[in-house]
């Protein structure tokens, strides 16, 4: 008879945890008007310019507290419960427990150690979605005063400095960097971020290559015809995301959502 | 002993029931192992227009892949090569191998999917060519580790990978050489269908 009582007790605890977690501050989304944009990746053979439709993007990455609120109400996404198919064995490993952040994980820091499946489920539960790569790239092209600052070496340097800085240092609160022209934070220097089409980035944009049996699995070498040697700061992001399977997690990889309604 | 065992079984059942209640709206019931592809719940429609799930062939060894109906070269080759793999099995084993291909193209109609099989002279028994929404296509592809993207002209650039699943939906073997799979893949298929 003890076990059901225990289970009910645990259920009560879980629902309390859910209530507590739900108090995490909501994320603000910002409008990004979109427009003509030159990507570092070709959209078609030799074509880099495209028109990005208007969208909304979260101003900041999803935090530990926010993700805790999510798993509190969605048991199937808890560490230890989420199946290996959707999250590898390091899923949320820095948290003290499936429903506890612990001392060394700041509630207002970006959540990391989440798989693409988990990130996607989180955004879906908010009525949102993961941004597509082109949307991430478009927003990240802005600095504090310009919509496209990529020609400025200072813009590139900021991204490169972040690559150099990473390495074991604890993640700080989201939104510490100055707001961009659009009102986003930390795109250039926060965490690596999942995108909806992470597994499409290095797929060749020339489908004629499919006719060659030696190219039936794309290595992406052809896709990475850099149109601009200076683009490598962004290409490092692409290389990183492309190297991951959707179930993988890493300590520096988080996400933000897109498509959320902008509250005014 | 017996009494307490019954009691703890009842307790376990209650706890599971409670867990199931808490789990309302969960991705999937815990009927498959954690690495089973069948844990992914997506709404597919087959070549007959029938709604089916990814686990429609659970209980049988199944070859899964992705393709699209209007694909000019690779996809017909994929279908033909898979049919050949099936024909090359000992006769008694052929029917035990099931085939489930999911289209990259949400615009593929059941009629078009049916034509793909017809053109190759494939009896559609034990074969499913299915379509689903763009959202679910990405989930299926991520689960199978198949990279793809849609190009501006509406066609798809994609990797072509055959995965052999065990009756529980766990991957047994994979090949990117679908026109001429490695001996390991053939051996795994022969062994899985021999049981």
Work out the average pLDDT over A37-55. 89
Q: What is the signed CA dihedral for B61, B172, B186, B44, rounded to 10 degrees?
A: 50
Can you tell me whether residue A198 is helix, strand or coil? Answer: helix
Residue of B nearest to A120 (CA): B139
Q: Do B142 and A117 touch (CB under 8 A)?
A: yes
Residue of A nearest to B38 (CA): A85
Report the pLDDT value the prediction gives residue A61, as an integer from 0 to 100.
96
List per-block mean pLDDT (blocks of 10 residues) for chain B, which spans 195 residues. 43 45 47 95 97 97 95 87 95 96 96 94 93 96 93 86 97 93 96 93
**Range with the lowest mean pLDDT among A153-157, A158-162, B10-14?**
B10-14
Judged against a pLDDT cut of 50, whether residue A250 lies above it is answered with yes
**Range with the lowest mean pLDDT among A105-114, A158-167, B170-179?**
A158-167
Q: What does pLDDT average to over chain A?
A: 83
Please state whether beta strands A35-38 and B62-67 pair in parallel, antiparallel, or not at all (unpaired): unpaired
Report the pLDDT value the prediction gives residue A76, as an integer from 0 to 100.
96
* Cα B150 to Cα B177: distance, rounded to the nearest angstrom: 22
* Cα A131 to Cα A122: distance, rounded to the nearest angstrom: 13
Q: Do A2 and B149 touch (CB under 8 A)?
A: no
Query: Contacts of residue B145 in chain A, CB cutoff 8 Å?
Result: 245-246
Which neighbouring-strand residues pair with A101?
none
* Cα B19 to Cα B57: distance, rounded to the nearest angstrom: 28
Torsion sign across C-alpha atoms B149, B151, B154, B155: negative
In this structure, what are the phi and psi dihedrals at residue B2, rounded to the nearest 5 degrees? -60, -45
Interface subset of B 2-41, CB within 8 angstroms of A? 7-8, 11-12, 14-15, 18-19, 22-23, 25-28, 34-37, 39-40
Can you read off the two tokens belonging to residue B37? 């592809």
Which neighbouring-strand residues pair with B148?
B158
Confidence of residue A130 (pLDDT cuts 50, 70, 90): very high
Q: Do A85 and B145 touch (CB under 8 A)?
A: no
Query: Contacts of residue B26 in chain A, CB cutoff 8 Å?
Result: 74-76
Report the pLDDT value the prediction gives residue B28, as an integer from 0 to 100.
47
Q: Which residues of A touch B (CB under 8 A)?
A: 1-4, 6-8, 11, 14, 43-44, 47, 74-76, 83-86, 116-117, 120-121, 196-197, 199-200, 202-207, 209-211, 213, 216-218, 245-246
Half-sphere exposure of A216 (CA within 13 A, CB side): 19
Instruction: Supply the pTM of this predicted model.
Output: 0.84
Query: Contacts of residue A120 in chain B, CB cutoff 8 Å?
Result: 139
* Cα A7 to Cα A129: distance, rounded to the nearest angstrom: 34
Longest dimension (CA), chain B: 70
Report the pLDDT value the prediction gives residue A167, as an integer from 0 to 100.
59
Judged against a pLDDT cut of 90, whether residue A23 lies above it is answered with no
Report yes or no: B187 and B61 within 8 Å, Cβ to Cβ. Answer: no
> What pLDDT, in 10s, does the model give residues A179-224?
999 999 999 888 999 999 998 887 766 654 444 433 333 433 344 4
* Cα A107 to Cα A94: distance, rounded to the nearest angstrom: 12
Q: Do A218 and B147 touch (CB under 8 A)?
A: yes
Judged against a pLDDT cut of 70, whether residue A3 lies above it is answered with no
Work out the average pLDDT over A113-133. 97
Residue of A nearest to B35 (CA): A85
Residue at token pair 């990405």: B138
């Amino acid at each position: 008879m003890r076990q059901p009582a225990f289970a009910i007790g645990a259920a009560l605890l879980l629902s309390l945890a859910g209530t507590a977690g739900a108090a995490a501050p909501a994320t603000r989304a910002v409008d990004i008007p979109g427009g003509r944009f030159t990507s570092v990746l070709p959209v078609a053979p030799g074509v880099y310019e495209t028109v990005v439709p208007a969208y909304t993007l979260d101003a900041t990455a999803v935090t530990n507290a926010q993700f805790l609120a999510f798993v509190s109400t969605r048991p199937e996404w808890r560490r230890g419960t989420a199946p290996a198919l959707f999250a590898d064995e390091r899923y949320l490993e820095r948290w003290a427990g499936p429903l506890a952040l612990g001392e060394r994980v700041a509630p207002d820091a970006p959540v990391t150690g989440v798989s693409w499946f988990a990130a996607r489920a989180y955004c879906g539960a908010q009525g949102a979605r993961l941004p597509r790569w082109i949307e991430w790239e478009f927003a990240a092209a802005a600095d504090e005063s310009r919509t496209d600052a990529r020609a400025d070496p200072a813009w590139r340097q900021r991204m490169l400095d972040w690559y150099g800085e990473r390495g074991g240092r604890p993640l700080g609160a989201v939104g510490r960097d100055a707001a961009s022209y659009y009102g986003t934070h930390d795109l250039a220097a926060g965490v690596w971020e999942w995108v909806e089409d992470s597994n499409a980035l290095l797929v060749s944009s020339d489908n004629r290559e499919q006719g060659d049996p030696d190219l039936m699995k794309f290595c992406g070498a052809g896709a990475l015809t850099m149109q601009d040697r200076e683009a490598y700061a962004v290409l490092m992001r692409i290389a990183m995301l492309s190297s991951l399977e959707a179930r993988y997690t890493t300590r520096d990889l988080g996400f933000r959502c897109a498509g959320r309604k902008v509250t005014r | 002993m017996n009494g307490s065992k019954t009691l703890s079984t009842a307790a376990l059942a209650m706890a599971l029931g409670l867990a199931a209640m808490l789990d309302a709206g969960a991705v999937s019931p815990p009927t498959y192992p954690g690495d089973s592809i069948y844990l992914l719940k997506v709404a597919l429609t087959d070549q007959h227009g029938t709604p089916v799930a990814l686990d429609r062939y659970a209980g049988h060894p199944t070859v899964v892949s992705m393709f699209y109906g209007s694909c000019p070269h690779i996809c017909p080759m994929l279908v033909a090569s898979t049919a050949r793999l099936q024909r090359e099995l000992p006769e008694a084993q052929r029917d035990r191998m099931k085939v489930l291909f999911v289209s990259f193209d949400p615009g593929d109609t059941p009629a078009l999917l049916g034509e793909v099989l017809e053109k190759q002279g494939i009896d559609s028994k034990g074969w499913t060519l299915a379509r689903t929404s763009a959202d679910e296509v990405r989930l299926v592809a991520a689960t199978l580790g198949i990279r793809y993207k849609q190009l501006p002209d509406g066609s798809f650039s994609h990797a072509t990978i055959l995965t052999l699943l065990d009756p529980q939906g766990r991957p047994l073997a994979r090949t990117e050489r679908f026109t001429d799979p490695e001996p390991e893949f053939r051996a795994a298929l022969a062994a899985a269908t021999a049981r």
